[in-house]
Structure formats: structure tokens, C-alpha cells
Amino acid sequence: MARLTALLLPLLLLLAGCSGRQSALGPGGADAQVLAVLFFVMLGGAVVLWLFMNGLFYWATRRSPSAHSEKGSFLLIVIGGILFPTVVLAALLSYGLAILPDQRAPGDGLTVAVRGEQWWWRVEYWPEGAEAPIRTANEIRLPVGARTEFRLDSHRVIHSFWVPALGGKMDMFPGRETRMSLEPVRPGLYRGQCAEFCGESHAWMAFEVEAMEPAAFDAWLAHEASDARPPEGAEAQRGAALFAAQGCGACHAVRGTEAVGQVGPDLTHVGSRHSLGAGRLGMAQEDLMRWIRDPAAFKPGAEMPAYDHLSEAQLSDLATYLRGLQ
Ligand code: CUA
């Protein structure tokens, strides 16, 4: 019994990894659903083959050598060793090729351009017929029940765009555009992760994907297109003044203000995002203060310089201003 428990425990732990917001086996998207089915069918096929071959091995080695006739051995090799695996593997391959989702299926109108940066994501929404994009960063929201097309590329090195719970992944290259599309079927918060080693902070290059009901998504996108709200309250106003005085606007844009930098992430509605630093920290006051004080402490190699010359009160003012950018 103890041996059985010892055997089953790792299996249970393994199965615990099958759900969650970054699991390909807890699908929230149309493509991911197909891929999850494919995974279990392949697993089933592999188990059948494994059991059959082990059974055959057991049977063959338990018989006395004299019981093996030449013809019997020949048939065993041809049927058990060649024919059976070929048929099962060919069936699995045909099934897989037949149901594999078309990663480049055309979208239903909305296009999202994502560029891999060191180590964050530049995001642009292009609604159908739009002449200018709606810029944001490190978070993607998508309407449920519609296919959104992604245009992907990269600034410097190869990254890879992957939201396991929604669909397959696609590499992002500098100077070359790749395309894919995703169709969420279940509202929820999913996690995306860069899936190609891209330097020292590769592991910290994540993002959130929120799948929303279409009406909520439309309202969100309209808000995302709007300018930033002016700071409310003395602390946020001091933070806004400090943001300008420290030259933050040379790298970051806050639409509706004089900050128009395009080097770093757009911060127009940064306070409404689910995470900070491409999934690195939360959005609490303390998270923003820690990040501004020394980004490289959380993301080695990050291009944003440390602002550790600022006082705690100044960092708090800045954090209040940024959190207010809803
Ligand atoms: Cu970007 Cu790994």
C-alpha cells in the first residue's frame, strides 16, 4: 500500500499542474481546446502501445526457448514489432494532422500588433478600419467568442509569444512579421510567457491576457483609446510633477500629457493593468515604489535606470500618480 501511495503521489502532483491560468491542459481558447484533446489522444495512444509492447516482451521472455518456433518468432516481429506500432502511430499522426488548428486562421476584424522588447511587450490595437493604433504594453485584453489576429515581431532578438491556455505559440523575429490568431471561449485571466530564450531576463518576460465579454471589451478598448485622466489629489499631483521633472516622459508616453517617449512601455492607463514590469510584480503601491527605485533588482538587464536617489516620499508620490492612471 505504501509503495502504491509512493507511486501515485508524484502522479497526483503532476496532474495538479494540469489546471491553472498558464496550462495548455486547462484550455480557455478554441485552439487550446483542440490541442488539449490532441494531447490526451496522443497520451492514450502512447499508453496502448506501451502496454502492448511490454505485454509482448513479458510473454516472449517468460516462454521457454524451445516453445518458440521460427515462424512464430517471425510473425511476432512482423506483427508485434512492425505492423502494430506502424498502424497505431500512423493513425495518431493522421488524426493529429486532421484536427490540428490553423494557427494562422484569419481574424474577425480586430488585429493586435505585439513587439518583443528586452524584456517586455509593446502592444498596439488596430480595430477594423482604424488609421492609428491604440498603444499599451505588457497586457492584452481580448473579446470572448471572436478570433483576434496577432501581428508579431521583435526589436532586437528572437522572442516567442505563447499563451498556453489559449493556443499555440509563435516566434517573434526582428525585421520579420509572423502572424497567428487566438479565440478565447471562456472569460478569465490567463498568463502568457516568452517561450524563446532571449537574454538574462527571459524568465521574467510574462504578460497577462484578460478574455472579456464582447460588450465589456468594447467599453475597455474605448477607454484605453482615451487620454490619461489628470491626477487627482495632492500626492498624485506631486507625482505627476516629479514624473515630468525626472524626465520620465523621454522614454514613456502618457497620452494627454507632454510625456511622449516611445522607448519604454506606454503608461497611459498603467494603473488599470494587472501586473507591473511584464508580469514581474503586482500593482500595489509598494510594488511600484520598489520597481522605480531599482528595476534591475527585479529584472536583471532592464534598460530603465534606477531612481534610488528619490526619497521614499517621492517614490510614493510617483506610485500614487501612476496607480491613478486608470
Ligand atoms: Cu523574450 Cu524570452
Residue 265 grid coordinates: 512601455
Cα-to-centroid distance, 213 and ligand 1 (Å): 30
pLDDT of residue 300: 96
Which atom, in ligand 1's list, is nearest to the CA of 172? 1
- Tell how far the Cα of 165 is from the centroid of ligand 1, in angstroms: 18
Residue 65, number of CB atoms within 10 A of its CB:
5
Q: What is the mean pLDDT of residues 265-275?
A: 96
Q: Which 3-state string (H, E, C) describes 67-131? A: HCCHHHHHHHHHHHHHHHHHHHHHHHHHHHHHHCCCCCCCCCCCEEEEEECCCCEEEEEECCCCC
Ligand 1 atom 1: residue of nearest CA = 159
Ligand 1 atom nearest the C-alpha of 203 is 2
Between the CA of 119 and the centroid of ligand 1 the distance, in Å, is 7
Q: How far is the CA of 199 from the centre of ligand 1 (A)?
A: 7
Task: Look at the block and give the residue holding cell 527571459.
Answer: 202
Rounded to an integer, what distance in angstroms lies between the CA atom of residue 199 and that of residue 109?
Answer: 34
**Which atom from ligand 1 is nearest to the alpha carbon of 157?**
1
Between CA 120 and CA 128, with CA 122 as vertex, the angle to 5 degrees is: 150
Measured between alpha carbons, how far is 281 from 295 in angstroms, rounded to an integer? Answer: 10
Question: Does residue 13 have a pLDDT over 70?
Answer: no
pTM, two decimals, is 0.87
In terms of Cα–Cα distance, which of 104, 85, 105 is closest to 93? 85
Buried b (16+ CB within 10 A) or exposed e, 166-192: bbbbbbbbeeeebebbbbbbbbbebbb
Comparing 81-95, 197-211, 296-310, the range with the smallest average pLDDT is 81-95
Question: Ligand 1 centre and the CA of 120: distance in Å?
Answer: 8
Pocket of ligand 1 from Cβ distances under 6 Å:
116, 119, 159, 194, 196-198, 202, 205
Higher pLDDT, 313 or 7: 313
- The 10s digit of each residue's pLDDT in 128-147 is 989 999 999 999 999 999 99
Question: Do residues 183 and 102 touch, judged by C-beta distance below 8 A?
Answer: no
Q: Which atom of ligand 1 is nearest the CA belonging to 158?
A: 1
Which ligand 1 atom minimizes the distance to the CA of 116? 1
C-alpha–C-alpha distance, residues 289 and 93, integer Å = 52
Helix (H) or strand (E) holding 9: helix 2-16
